[in-house]
Structure 1
């Protein structure tokens, strides 16, 4: 029997993850069964279970990939000296992240139908962490790494004199992350919103001056 190449194995795993992501984005975790995934990817149960023992493993694999893509995007921005201003940075990161949920494949590899797919999936992940301890631990670990990347960016602002240095960098990083998360939540709940909206809003907030 001919030996299956690693390239073929990787492509098959990619096919399964993409199909599962599309199912989860459309119908949510609980309403999606493994049978739905099998139908979506047009593979036998044996072919899918060779890679993933069940739905929880699929969810964990997708979340891991998304978190890694987020971290890569932030770390790439942190390598710029000085980093781009917050409105440009957050807009750029959101373009990268939202691109994962469109038909233009994101850097993380995942792709599914419709630009609202990624935000909807992330809201479902946040909800799922309240009942799934393993997923919660995975999210916590990912958040720590993403926060570290954001903190490094803020420290770059402070060192360049672009931002006041008397506020802990971690506090600013958490606020920037919350802004990006809130924008993703709005996308999930209310439909597509141009990234320029969050950029304009941040730019306006950055221009606020206290009355003399």
Structure 2
């Protein structure tokens, strides 16, 4: 019997993951059965179970892949010294990640935003995946802190604001944009980039006194 090549095995595993990702993004993890996955990828149960013992293992593989892609994208972009401005840095990271999953959507969009929402929800009940998410978040924070410190050293950002505060805010901004896309439909990445560019170019205007009020 002819030996199956590693390339073939990898391609088959990729086929299963892509099909499951489409279903999970569309219907959610728990509304999708393994039978649904078999139908989506047009493979026998034996072919699929050769790679994944069940739905939980399939979910874990996709969650780790999604979170790993986010981390790798950011780490690659943040290696420049100093990093590109925040709008360009976020655009490079999010743009690369969206492109990875855009081919999975029959409508030409990206399954990434709804898939991320499903991942966030899944980590609430799954301690193993919650640990993976926490690890990725910690890595992102550390990477963003280094980027902000580089901005501050280059005089691109005020040095009196804790770098960790900026890091958390930038992560929250990206998370919010992903949530908007998942809930309200696709939006050009330029929307986020333009908004970040406008916000980061504003001069500081702190109140003169503690009791000052707007208006």
User: In the TM superposition, what are the counterparts of 1:126-205 in structure 2 within 5 Å?
Assistant: 126-205=120-199
2:13 maps to which residue? 13
User: In the TM superposition, what are the counterparts of 1:94-133 in structure 2 within 5 Å?
Assistant: 94-103=94-103, 111-114=104-107, 115-133=109-127
Q: In structure 2, how many angstroms separate the alpha carbons of the residues matched to 1:125 and 1:5? A: 32
Distance 1:14 1:138, change over 3 A: same
Question: TM-score w.r.t. structure 2 length?
Answer: 0.89
Deviation at 1:155, TM superposition (A): 2.0
The answer to whether 1:80 aligns with 2:80 is yes
1:32 maps to which residue? 32
Q: In structure 2, how many angstroms separate the alpha carbons of the residues matched to 1:3 and 1:193? A: 46
Deviation at 1:116, TM superposition (A): 4.3
Q: In structure 1, how many angstroms separate the alpha carbons of the residues matched to 2:87 and 2:130? A: 30
Q: In structure 2, how many angstroms separate the alpha carbons of the residues matched to 1:129 and 1:147? A: 19
Unaligned runs of 5+ residues in structure 1 are 104-110
User: What is the DSSP-based 3-state SS (H/G/I as helix, E as strand, rest coil) of the residue aligned with 2:25?
Assistant: helix
Tell which structure's C-alpha radius of gyration is larger: 2
Instruction: Please tell me whether the aligned partners of residues 33 and 55 of structure 1 are also in contact (alpha carbons under 8 angstroms).
Output: yes
Deviation at 1:136, TM superposition (A): 1.1
User: What is the DSSP-based 3-state SS (H/G/I as helix, E as strand, rest coil) of the residue aligned with 1:129?
Assistant: helix
Q: In structure 2, how many angstroms separate the alpha carbons of the residues matched to 1:12 and 1:136? A: 28
Instruction: Please tell me whether the aligned partners of residues 87 and 202 of structure 1 are also in contact (alpha carbons under 8 angstroms).
Output: yes
Per-residue CA deviations over 1:30-65 (Å, capped at 9, x if unaligned) read: 110000000111111111111111111111111111
Instruction: Please tell me whether the aligned partners of residues 151 and 173 of structure 1 are also in contact (alpha carbons under 8 angstroms).
Output: yes
Q: In structure 2, how many angstroms separate the alpha carbons of the residues matched to 1:132 and 1:81? A: 38
1:107 maps to which residue? none
Two-structure CA RMSD over aligned residues (Å):
1.6
Q: In structure 2, how many angstroms separate the alpha carbons of the residues matched to 1:146 and 1:66? A: 14
Q: In structure 2, how many angstroms separate the alpha carbons of the residues matched to 1:156 and 1:143? A: 20
Per-residue CA deviations over 1:140-159 (Å, capped at 9, x if unaligned) read: 12212222222222222122
Question: TM-score w.r.t. structure 1 length?
Answer: 0.90
Of 112-121 and 86-95, more deviation after overlay is shown by 112-121
